[in-house]
Structure 1
Amino acid sequence: MFKRVLLTTLLATFLFSCQQNPESDISYTIAPIMGDSIPQLKIKMILKASPDGTTTLSFPNDVWGQTDLYNSLGSMQLLNVEGVVEKDLDSGRIVLMHPKDAKELEFEYFLKQDFDDDLSTDKVYRPVINKQYFHVFSHNMFMVPENAEDTLGIFLDWTDFPEEYTIHNSFGSQEREQLLADMDLELFGNAIFVGGDFRIFNGDIQGNKISLATRGEWIPFKDENVFKVLEQTLTYQRNFWNDHSQKYFTVTMQPFPQENGSSFQGTGLTNSFATSVSNNDLTDIGQMVYLFNHELMHNWIGHAIKNVNEEEQYWFSEGFTEYYTFKNIAKNKINGLDGTFFITEMNRTIRDLYASSVGDSPNSEINYDNFWTNYEYSKLPYWRGAIFAFYLDQKIQQKSEDKQSLDDVVHRIYTDATSKEQKLTHDYFIGVMDAYWDGDFEAVFQNHIEEGQKVDLVALFDELDLDYSPKSDIYDLGFVFTEDRKRIQSVTEGSKAWEAGIRTGDEVFSRSIWQGNIEHEVELGLRRNGEEVKISFYPVKKGEVPQLKPSAENVEKLGF
């Protein structure tokens, strides 16, 4: 439904003086302003006008699990012609209606932060704009013509920012004027833009520039150590893929406050990935090692190798990325980690999958809604895909007497993706694997990916003569929150939560939960019958879940 927001009568067309860069098809001038005492970004764009008098701009209202992003939009107006600006929330469009004889449009809009509370994990994908800095993803910042060519010349003008203000993004660092020639609009829309009090660390790998943009006073680590992990990670991953073609790559790190527990997340983007990390003494450099390796691996698995259907192939783009994260760290001893790290992470992944209430769900249930709204569904393709990758890797090595491995499979897929623009489909993956598999691989794939049957790890460990324990402690929270997480909806009798004294109907006023982690206690502050009580317990139960022993013999047999 269209909502009319503005009607402006301004300068006549013949007075319009075009400021667009002559080499660009569309230009943006970005400037910091204070409007109603609120820090905002003023964005003025110059673009070609549609001859039918209606120019439509894409600007999603709901994306990446976020809703109502139009709340971050301030006033909008056409500057050089009479016209009407309308929001179409349902389709994610901004519609400009103007005279049919207009050749170009000068359109101005304002962007602001639409939340007042502290930054948190559920806010980092919204525009963050304050007096100290801004942190915005491209699709939340730059409107683009809906029916434009796939590639455009785009000009970005940042010259109105103070000289001491850092300007840094997926396309360059400290550049006040940026001309992105023949820019793929999909890549442009998948970028990060930051500015303000960010600190920039620069380096190079085989002549290619890398950088880290970070801000704030970090409690758990030093900037220099984080940058060293970044250098190691990129070097070894590029060596693995034999790909040193990327001339520029950056990582951004945004801290956020968190009183209890530790959390971090990252998003792989064009020439970059953006991270947000809890800034407390429960966070450590080891988490950055994992985060960097996982997200940077997406440069190849997920970006160079694209899924035909995102959620349907998340078992590959997330699960295989997870597996090669563990493998790359251990093989190259990044930050001193080795084969025991690989075993520890695979054991954790096995426990997570076996303890999950959705662990046997078919692949079809990993859809957009489930993935973005349910924690277990969001992690299921990571767990399932990583274990499936481990299974395939070991079986290929066994069949070929260590002459081949899953590495050969993913290298073949990467070559096809880059030379033939082949995208990842289930049929394509099965076809590739047939050359490395002894037997009917399609049936194997159908069982373990399509239907969600767990790999028989006990049989695999026995076959490979690996030392393991058949039982282990697995994660079991033991209770369910109400939807608003303010009360206890139900408790499993006999669970550790039940034994600790948690009961249905308890009001929750504080909580610290390391989701999926059996080594940290769950801590809850509860109210019951007007009284407050503090409860803590380890969220574990015994399960028939095999775990590899981190022995020197196992490390050697697994190739580390």
Structure 2
Amino acid sequence: MFKRVLLTALLATFLFSCQQEPESDISYEIAPVVVDSIPQLKIKMTLEASPDGITTLSFPDDAWGQEGLYNSLGKMELLNVEGAIEKDADSGHIVLMHPKGVKHLEFQYFLKQDFQGDISTREIYRPIINKDYFHLFSHNMFMVPENAEENQDISLDWSSFPEEYTIHNSFGSQEKMQLLQDMDMELFGSAIFVGGDFRIYNGDIQGNKISLATRGKWIPFKDEDVFKVLEETLTYQRNFWNDHSQAYFTVTMQPFPQENGSSFQGTGLTNSFATSVSNNDLTDIGQMVYLFNHELMHNWIGHTITNENEEEQYWFSEGFTEYYTFKNIAKNKINGLDGSFFIDELNRTIRDLYASSVGEASNSEINYDNFWTNYEYSKLPYWRGAIFAFYLDQGIQQDTEGEKSLDDVMHQIYADATTKDQKLTHDYFIEVMDRFWDGDFEAVFQQHIEEGQKVDLVALFDELELEYSPESDIYELGFEFTEDRKEIASVIEGSQAWEAGVRAGDEVFSRSIWQGSIDHEVELGLRRNSEEINIAYFPITKAAVPQLKSTAENIEKLGI
């Protein structure tokens, strides 16, 4: 009897120990705490120690356009050994100094929100930690060993959070203990982690889990409507690529207040897409349809099919993504949108390209500096690439009497990317297109992509026997700001800005401008000779820019 009890006790002890934190190369225990009335996260990290007595952790002070991320760091301490800790913001390192020969370190640090008040677009990529929820990314939440191997076993212990507290991230949902086996450290470093009062909506597509995590009281739409858009988008995109390999995917969506206009930001991450959206009645579900369809298409165009030289092939990774956003939405009638939507979006893209002051800049001018500092250069590959994709799509369909389309080109490129690790280069794209294009495609590519000449849309529309208007209103702001944007530098005589009374030398004390939009008034608060003047006008001008008519015949001919 005694032996049986002893055996049972030993077995129970063994089973209990097996249920403890799983073996891992790096483990994190995350707990909610309040320090001096400030909600914080306490993170205990267990890791292998460097034998030389100096273990370096990566934790960037500047990342994703955010500076001073170390302001979110609270108390740090080594728990199992005596030692010292140094912060090196310039290198983005936390240096742990400890006795030589130590096998493992237990290191604890605290994270806090380093700004007050409501979040805005400026704080979205900073650690958000308050009494209701947290919202962080890998790089500003988890320190990682500088010398870590490419793949590690990582454990995440959330068991200290209350039972009702949502735990949701790029690797799972509502799991209080997560073991990420053989985790690619680069993928771990590109993830979203949220918790608190988030609501989770779950579904599956051919047995693969999808979810939406959101919070707050949305003004412009219901959670269920957003989830339906997400479900439809992922279903049709995966069907298009015949790719149902992703076992788990989530979208996180947090609201932020905004008085004027609407805006949204989104970031594609490991198994996830994190977005923040202005919560007012100027935001609508249509914007979420576009956002999801464009950004999630990057799972294939831009992620699986990668550019050899990033900015050089933006005409493809952004422009073709834009075109397939329009096409996927319209062909599958996502949120009830159809061929008229496709024509409207194509027309808008045409207007934007023709209105751009850099509309015929060469592809070499779409470089890092121009793309990231100049609005028109940043949009040029979207506009040019989308119209070029439309041109190719219609040309292939016409040459093959509808048997082939640009879809077949995209499927070939995807197959080569997945089976041969083929990157998107100009030579490779020309090589693939030569199989589908009737004529000298290299010359076409040189003209419209390398040199940046606009496609002759009038000739194309005539050839396809499409109904169109030969001219339209396009965007024209009508004036230039001074470099500091505090004054009007020059005004185009005869423009709507000129007619409304804007003059060179006017001081600007307020402004509301929907860049590129002809449907919203420009509103300016100007000061001239100590007198304040309020001016509003529509930034439009007439131009010879062809626009397709939204007719049933056109929609049928376009194959939408």
What TM-score, normalized by structure 2, do the two folds share?
A: 0.91
**Residue pair 1:42, 1:109 contacting (<8 A) in 2 also:** yes
List per-residue Cα deviations over 1:364-421 (Å, max 9, x = no partner).
Answer: 3334443333322322222122112111111111222211111111111111222222
CA distance in 2, matches of 1:217, 1:389: 39
Give the conservation status (yes or no) of the 8 Å contact 2:22–2:179.
Answer: no
Aligned equivalents of 1:550, 1:291: Cα separation in 2: 23
Please, which moves more after superposition, 256-265 or 520-529?
Answer: 520-529
- Give the Cα separation in 2 of the matches to 1:525 and 1:359: 30
Residue type of the alignment partner of 2:138: S
Contact 1:55–1:95 (CA under 8 A) maintained in structure 2: yes
CA distance in 2, matches of 1:484, 1:74: 37
- Which structure 2 segments of 5+ residues have no match? 1-18
Comparing 21-30 and 279-288, the one that deviates more: 21-30
Write the letter of the residue equivalent to 1:261.
G
Alignment match, 2:80: 80
Structure 2 Cα separation of the partners of residues 493 and 361 of structure 1 = 25
Report the Cα offset of residue 36 of structure 1: 4.0
Check whether the contact 2:213–2:253 (CA below 8 A) recurs between aligned residues. Answer: yes
CA distance 1:405–1:76, change in 2 (3 Å): same
Which amino acid counterpart does residue 411 of structure 1 have in structure 2? H
- Tell me what 2:231 maps to: 231
Q: Which residue of 1 aligns with 2:471?
A: 471
Counterpart check, 1:253 vs 2:261: no
Asked if 1:213 corresponds to 2:213, the answer is yes
Larger mean CA deviation between 268-277 and 140-149 belongs to: 140-149
8 Å contact 2:318–2:381 — kept in the other structure? yes
Q: Which residue of 1 aligns with 2:118?
A: 118
Task: Kindly provide the amino acid, as one letter, of the partner of residue 194 in structure 2.
Answer: V
- Aligned-pair CA distance for 1:80: 2.6
Q: Is the 8 A contact 2:33 2:40 kept in 1?
A: yes
Deviation at 1:211, TM superposition (A): 1.0
Q: Is the 8 A contact 1:65 1:372 kept in 2?
A: no
1:330 counterpart residue number: 330
* Counterpart residue identity of residue 303, structure 1: H
* Identical aligned residues as a percent: 82
Partner of 1:438, secondary structure, is coil
AA matched with 2:363:
N
Counterparts in 2 of 1:118 and 1:329: CA distance versus 1, 3 Å = same
Deviates more, 1:319-328 or 1:516-525: 516-525
Does residue 1:296 correspond to 2:296, yes or no?
A: yes
Q: Is the 8 A contact 2:21 2:157 kept in 1?
A: no
Counterpart amino acid of 1:448?
H
From the superposition, tell whether residues 525 and 238 of structure 1 become closer, same or farther in structure 2 (CA, over 3 Å): same
Aligned to 1:60: 60
Partner in structure 2 of residue 182 of structure 1: 182
CA distance in structure 2 between the partners assigned to 1:78 and 1:485 by the alignment: 50
**In the aligned structure 1, how far is the partner of 2:477 from the partner of 2:551?**
30
Distance 1:75 1:446 in 2: 58
Q: Report the AA paired with residue 92 of structure 2.
A: G
Equivalences for residues 64-463 of structure 1 within 5 A: 64-463=64-463
State the Cα deviation string for residues 291-311 of structure 1 (Å, max 9, x = none). Answer: 111111112112222223333
- Greater mean deviation of Cα atoms: 485-494 or 350-359: 485-494
Cα distance per residue 1:314-333 (max 9 Å; x no partner): 22222111111100010011
SS at match of 1:412: helix
Amino acid paired to 1:52? D
Structure 2 Cα separation of the partners of residues 72 and 486 of structure 1: 34
Q: 1:481 to 1:63 in 2, by over 3 A?
A: farther
Contact 1:75 1:109 in 2 (8 A): yes
Q: CA separation in 2, counterparts of 1:357 and 1:71?
A: 41
Cα deviation, residue 459, structure 1: 2.3
What TM-score, normalized to structure 1? 0.91
Kept in 1: contact 2:233–2:292 (CA 8 A): yes
1:20 touches 1:27 (CA, 8 Å); kept in 2?
A: no
What code does the residue aligned with 2:245 have?
A: S
Point out the more displaced range, 313-322 or 359-368. 359-368
CA RMSD of aligned residues (A): 2.3
Q: May I ask how many residue pairs the two structures share in their alignment?
A: 542
Show CA shifts across 1:100-123 (max 9, x none).
Answer: 312222222232333335322233
1:379 and 1:318 map into 2 onto residues whose CA distance is: 9
Structure 2 residue matching 1:448: 3-state secondary structure: helix
Q: More displaced, 550-559 or 516-525?
A: 516-525
Larger Rg: 2
Separation in 2 of the partners of 1:93 and 1:368?
27
